[in-house]
C-alpha cells in the first residue's frame, strides 16, 4: 500500500513540475494577444439636453441611450448636457446615460449655471477614467459670448494604449472667439504628451477659418464630411471627430447616423485603428 502511495506522489510531483515548466506560456499568450489590432469606436452627439425638438418640454434619455447602445462606442463625447437643471427635472443626465448604456465611467464638465443647475459637456467611457479636467476656454468677453469649456479624460485601452479623449462645444456666433478657443485647445493637447481624440460641436462649417485652424492641430475623421444639422434635410456639417498625432490612428469608418427624433443634431461615429507605437509620440 505504501509503495502505491509513493508511486502516486511521484507521479503527482512530475505533473506539478511539468505544469510549472509551462508557466511562461501564459505571458507569451498575453503578449501575442496584445499584438492584435485594437480599435476605438468614437461617438459624438449634441443631445439638446435630451429634448426631442418635436416634443417641447419633454425629456427622452431613452432615445439618446438607444443611439449609443445601437452604435456600441468605446467613448462618447456629449454636448448640451443638463445636470440638476430645472427644465430636465433636476436629474443628472450624464450619470443616467452612463447607467443606461452600461458605460464604466463618465465625466461631466460644467460650462454655465442654468435654471438652478449645471449645463455643459460630458464624456462616457467603457474604460476607466484615470484623470479628468474641465478647462475653461477663452473668448472676448466684450462680445458677450456664452462661456465654453473643454472636458478631457485620460484613459487606457485593454491593449495598453494610453490617450486623452476630449469633448467640447465652441462659441456659436463669432469666428474670433472660436479661434481663441482652438488656440487654447492646441496648448492643452500639446501639454498632455499623449495622443488625443477630440469630438464636439464646433459651430463651424468645413470651409470656415475655424475648421481650417482645427485641421492644423488635428486630423479630422472625414474630408468631405456629411452634414449633421438640421436633422431633417441637413445641409451643413458642424459636428466633428479629430485626432493627433496623425500616426496614432487610422480612420476605418466615418458616418453620420440618421436619427431624426432624439435631438436637433445628427450623431457622428468614427471607427479608428490604434497604432500603439505612437502612444507617447505626440
**149-187: b (≥16 Cβ within 10 Å) or e:** bbbbbbbebeeebbbbbbbbbbbeeeeebbbbbbebbbe
- Rounded distance between C-alpha atoms, residue 240 and residue 169, angstroms: 11
What pLDDT, in 10s, does the model give residues 36-80?
A: 899 999 999 999 999 999 999 999 999 999 999 999 999 999 999
Global pTM reads 0.87
Read off the pLDDT of residues 220-258 as tens digits, 9 standing for 90 and up: 999 999 999 999 999 999 999 999 999 999 999 999 999
Nearest of 41, 36, 104, 48 to residue 71 by alpha carbon: 41
Average pLDDT over residues 2-10: 45
pLDDT at 7 over 80: no
- Residue 245: all three cell numbers together: 498625432
How much is the pLDDT for 277? 78
Q: Please report, to the nearest 10 degrees, the dihedral formed by the alpha carbons of residues 22, 24, 28, 34 taken in order.
A: 120
Q: Are strands 39-46 and 75-83 parallel, antiparallel or unpaired?
A: parallel
pLDDT of residue 278: 67
CA distances from 125 to 200, 202, 261 (A): 15, 21, 24
Instruction: Determine the average pLDDT of the residues in 89-117.
Output: 98
Q: What value does the mean pLDDT of the chain take?
A: 90
**Crossing angle of helices 93-101 and 61-71, rounded to 10°:** 40
CA 137, CA 54: separation in Å to the nearest integer?
32
- Per the listing, cell 510531483 goes with 13
d(CA 161, CA 158): 7
Joined grid coordinates for residue 250:
487610422
Centre a 10 Å sphere on the Cβ of residue 251 and count the other Cβ atoms it contains.
16
pLDDT of amino acid 5: 42
Residue 226 has φ and ψ, to the nearest 5°, of: -65, 150
What percentage of the chain reaches a pLDDT higher than 90? Answer: 85
**What tens digit of pLDDT does each residue of 13-24 get?**
444 444 444 444
Amino acid at each position: 500500500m505504501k509503495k502505491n502511495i509513493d508511486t502516486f506522489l511521484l507521479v503527482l510531483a512530475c505533473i506539478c513540475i511539468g505544469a510549472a515548466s509551462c508557466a511562461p506560456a501564459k505571458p507569451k499568450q498575453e503578449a501575442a494577444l496584445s499584438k492584435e489590432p485594437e480599435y476605438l469606436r468614437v461617438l459624438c452627439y449634441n443631445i439638446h439636453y435630451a429634448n426631442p425638438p418635436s416634443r417641447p418640454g419633454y425629456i427622452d434619455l431613452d432615445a439618446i441611450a438607444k443611439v449609443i447602445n445601437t452604435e456600441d462606442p468605446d467613448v462618447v463625447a456629449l454636448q448640451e448636457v443638463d445636470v440638476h437643471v430645472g427644465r430636465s427635472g433636476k436629474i443628472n443626465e450624464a450619470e443616467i446615460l452612463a447607467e443606461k448604456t452600461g458605460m464604466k465611467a463618465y465625466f461631466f464638465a460644467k460650462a454655465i449655471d442654468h435654471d438652478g443647475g449645471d449645463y455643459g459637456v460630458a464624456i462616457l467611457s467603457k474604460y476607466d477614467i484615470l484623470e479628468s479636467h474641465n478647462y475653461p476656454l477663452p473668448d472676448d468677453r466684450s462680445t458677450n459670448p456664452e462661456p465654453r469649456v473643454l472636458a478631457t479624460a485620460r484613459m487606457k485601452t485593454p491593449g495598453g494604449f494610453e490617450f486623452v479623449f476630449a469633448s467640447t462645444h465652441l462659441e456659436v456666433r463669432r469666428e474670433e472667439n472660436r479661434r481663441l478657443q482652438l488656440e487654447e485647445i492646441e496648448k492643452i493637447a500639446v501639454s498632455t504628451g499623449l495622443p488625443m481624440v477630440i469630438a464636439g460641436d464646433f459651430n463651424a462649417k468645413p470651409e470656415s477659418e475655424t475648421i481650417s485652424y482645427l485641421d492644423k492641430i488635428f486630423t479630422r475623421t472625414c474630408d468631405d464630411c456629411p452634414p449633421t444639422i438640421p436633422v431633417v434635410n441637413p445641409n451643413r456639417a458642424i459636428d466633428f471627430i479629430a485626432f493627433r498625432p496623425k500616426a496614432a490612428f487610422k480612420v476605418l469608418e466615418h458616418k453620420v447616423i440618421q436619427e431624426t427624433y432624439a435631438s436637433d443634431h445628427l450623431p457622428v461615429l468614427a471607427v479608428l485603428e490604434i497604432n500603439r507605437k505612437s502612444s507617447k509620440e505626440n
